[in-house]
Amino acid sequence: MAESRPTIHLPRRRLLTGAAALAAFAALPAPARALVPTPRQTAGPFYPTELPAEHDWDLVRVTGRAAQAMGQVTHLSGRVLAADGTPLAGALVEAWQCDANGIYHHPADREQGRDGNFQGYGRTRTDADGRYRFRTIRPVAYSGRTPHVHFAVAAPGRSRLVTQMYVEGDPGNPRDFIFSRLSPEQRAAVAVRLEPADGIETGALAGRFDIILA
């Protein structure tokens, strides 16, 4: 079971500095390769049956709770793009995942050991350049699955895409029954490198996940 981390209270100046660093991270040019449509994957059994009272982009901090979620804070950002590279503004991006104990905030998952400080689900909309961001935790493995984060994207005039993001290089990836079904090209499209991001938030990780809609 993951240990509870100390509460992080970030002063306003650091929040502004971190937001600027995250924006710069998301604005980095995409890898020099053809845009591969993000593969469709299962939403799994734990998509929320109803939205939690709080469902913003920050899954680590729940209003009214003194402590933040267990686990290593991870900033995920990227762009939602058409296959030709056109940014898709106003797209609804949803993200949901288990907590640091491997438990989803869902009535079908076990409740014992659930981290009440973890929001579990969040949503946001892309800006004019197709950018989005989430503050969450590094995903963890649980029985039968490698670490992953579920994503769903609904862009105007396009069908809703449901997919999953994985951690690049995680030893559980080759054994995962969903990840292993993907082609090498598709695996590269959904496996994200998580790197230290002290410039955004001390002790945090950051990764870029561009979502390409066919």
- What integer pLDDT is reported at residue 82 of this predicted model? 96
Distance, in Å, from the CA atom of 145 to the CA atom of 140, rounded to the nearest integer, reads 9
- What integer pLDDT is reported at residue 26 of this predicted model? 52
Q: What is the SS3 string spanning 27-61?
A: CCCCCCCCCCCCCCCCCCCCCCCCCCCCCCCECCC
Backbone φ and ψ for 16, nearest 5 degrees, come out as -65, -40
What residue segments make up the domains of the chain, in order of their start?
A: 12-213
Which residues of the chain, if any, have pLDDT below 50? 1-9, 12-15, 30-33
- What integer pLDDT is reported at residue 51 of this predicted model? 84
DSSP β-ladder status, 148-154 and 92-96: antiparallel
Distance, in Å, from the CA atom of 125 to the CA atom of 127, rounded to the nearest integer, reads 7
- What integer pLDDT is reported at residue 23 of this predicted model? 56
Q: Are 53 and 65 in contact (CB under 8 A)?
A: no
Q: What is the largest CA-CA distance in the chain?
A: 46
- What integer pLDDT is reported at residue 4 of this predicted model? 41
In CATH terms, the superfamily for domain 12-213 is Aromatic compound dioxygenase (2.60.130.10)
- What integer pLDDT is reported at residue 32 of this predicted model? 41
- What integer pLDDT is reported at residue 18 of this predicted model? 59
Distance, in Å, from the CA atom of 1 to the CA atom of 124, rounded to the nearest integer, reads 30
Which DSSP category does 87 fall into? B
- What integer pLDDT is reported at residue 91 of this predicted model? 98
- What integer pLDDT is reported at residue 100 of this predicted model? 97
| Other residues' Cβ atoms within 10 Å of the Cβ of residue 4 | 14
- What integer pLDDT is reported at residue 111 of this predicted model? 73
